Structure 1
């Protein structure tokens, strides 16, 4: 446990350093953007801006100050919105979390169901599921968003296509976000169950006359649950970054669209904060899944 927590802290430190360094490696002088892009700036004004934001300090000193502030919850002030970055994140976060939660429910339920169906039925059903999931993973999210908006939003008028935070507004964005993840989960579920069906204890249960449905539920699916849960956690953790394209396509005011706008306007405090939030959430979720793995699959606990 201590070793895992130490690794978590070390990963967060390394990631925060990369994020801070990458933001200031962007083309152009940060002072120009901090000054609002004004022309004919006097040397005295530029020096005042540098002093205000401590840009004359050595890089490591700047990083240490930024990291210390971030740990205490002070993420700085947006140069574009002229507001505290923390307040911007709190205002945008519910929309993004709702989208991720909705998409997670969709890909877990339908992904696992398709994987189980393919593994149990086999034959043409298996081939159809594999072909469908292969196609789903090959379509970029922005293409999926365009098709869904055109078909279900414009032509049929079943769903709103822009903005809003209700469940109905989030349906098309959630489907777009979940489609690729659904394909991954169905593949993992199928493969895990196929491997479990070949194990000795399943053959013994089948030879003892146990009904096939009970064999699938008690032995095959239960044995395959570990890899399925692990992959569901990993995919969910990575979804926060996937909201960038989806929120932009559907005009949602979430963390993803905030990041896009911050990058385009060189709003360094917001860019750094959003990237740090995404990485922190990913590491936290993957660590939680790792800690829960022995409870889900006793074989992991025995190997440890």
Structure 2
């Protein structure tokens, strides 16, 4: 029952935060210089009647709060409006482009989790030269921005060696895996280094804990000590970085998609921002915020299950 109340409270808090975020997302675009009407006119002069017609079509002449509540009501029904640039429904644009972005993020996240946890565990358990080598490697990874990694990987493995495509998202599962391998690695490189370091530090701290010393003194096999008492107890610390990992993936995918010309929402957001396509930018921004908050909610709900030392709500109390 405590878990149900905790989950219900967190969902209510997320809904309230999303409401505030929707207001900020909607209003932020109108603070930027320029207007959708100027883009539609493409620098051409227009009569007052034509300009009034454009403003009426896109409700640009309505009061701000009227526009916001109309937009919010439509969003709650799954209608994000009509793209000014592409002259089509934003929902259709998202349906066409969101799957490739989510697939890219899923591939990158898999690389981050598998490689990051593995390197961190090896560094903490083996120590010595292995630990030093992994620290040097992860330092290089953390110091390499995603867009730099994208350019390097593209130049070496796509252009020079020709092992992977240099652009595009592919068609079909197998083709998508082939096309998105380099982008996923570029997107994951920084986070692999970060997660490996977090895992290493958490496991080293767990190795010095009293219960590990007691387990060893009782003759528990070292492999079992590492698995049950060290790695498992460090997962709580690792899990708390989940929100940061996902938020970084969501932000950096814009750069990576642009570098590899992947037709996802990252590249769409970059183009829509340039052309002042308000409905598209607002929809993508709101989706990114919602995904980030959903991940944080999942982390909050899983943390007490992964780490029994954490009680419901203790993370919030600590903050």
Deviation at 1:295, TM superposition (A): 1.2
Q: Is the contact between residue 242 and residue 295 of structure 2 (CA under 8 Å) also seen in structure 1?
A: no
After superposition, what is the alpha-carbon deviation per residue over 1:192-230, rounded to whole angstroms, capped at 9, x for unaligned?
Answer: 101111111100011112221111111100111112233
Structure 1 residues 123 and 93, CA gap change in structure 2 (3 angstroms): same
**What is the CA distance between 1:38 and its match in structure 2?**
4.9
Aligned twin of 1:209 = 219
Specify the alignment match of 1:23 in structure 2.
Answer: 29
Tell me how far 1:234 sits from its aligned partner.
Answer: 3.8
Paired residues of 1:142 and 1:249 also in contact (CA < 8 A): yes
1:43-100 C-alpha deviation (Å, 9 max, x unpaired): 1111222222222222112111111111111100111111100010010011111111
Residue matched to 2:121? 116
Question: Superposed, which structure 2 residues align to 1:112-261 within 5 Å?
Answer: 112-165=117-170, 166-261=176-271
Query: 1:164 Cα deviation (Å)?
Result: 3.1
Q: Which runs of 4+ in 1 moved over 3 A?
A: none
Following superposition, the deviation at residue 5 of structure 1 comes to 2.0
Report the secondary structure of 1:301's partner residue. Answer: coil
* Post-superposition offset of 1:149: 1.1
Partner of 1:77: 82
Secondary structure of the 1:147 match is: helix
In the alignment, the residues of structure 2 paired with residue 157 and residue 54 of structure 1 have an alpha-carbon distance, to the nearest angstrom, of 50
Structure 2 counterpart of 1:53, from 54, 58, 64: 58
TM-score by length of 1: 0.95
Normalised to the residue count of structure 2, the TM-score between the two structures is: 0.91
1:289 and 1:143 map into 2 onto residues whose CA distance is 30
Q: CA separation in 2, counterparts of 1:45 and 1:170?
A: 45
Q: Which residue of 2 aligns with 1:296?
A: 306
Tell me, what secondary structure is at the counterpart of 2:44?
coil
CA RMSD of aligned residues (A): 1.5
* CA distance in structure 1 between the aligned counterparts of 2:35 and 2:159, rounded to whole angstroms: 44
2:273–2:281 contact (8 Å) kept in structure 1: yes
Gap change, CA 1:19 and 1:233, over 3 Å in 2: closer
Task: Map 1:86-105; keep pairs closer than 5 Å.
Answer: 86-105=91-110
Deviation at 1:233, TM superposition (A): 5.0
In structure 1, stretches of 5+ residues that fail to align are none
Corresponding residue for residue 63 of structure 1: 68
Cα 1:303–1:259 shift into 2, 3 Å: closer
1:276 to 2:286 alignment: yes
Contact 1:234 1:285 in 2 (8 A): no
Counterpart Cα distance in 2 of 1:133 and 1:97? 26
Q: Structure 1 stretch 1-10 or stretch 281-290: which is displaced more?
A: 1-10
Q: Is the contact made by 2:142 and 2:190 (CA closer than 8 Å) also made in structure 1?
A: yes
Q: How many residues align?
A: 303
Residue 19 of structure 2 is matched in structure 1 by: 13
Deviates more, 1:63-72 or 1:109-118: 63-72
Q: Are the counterparts in 2 of residues 107 and 178 from structure 1 also a CA contact under 8 Å?
A: yes
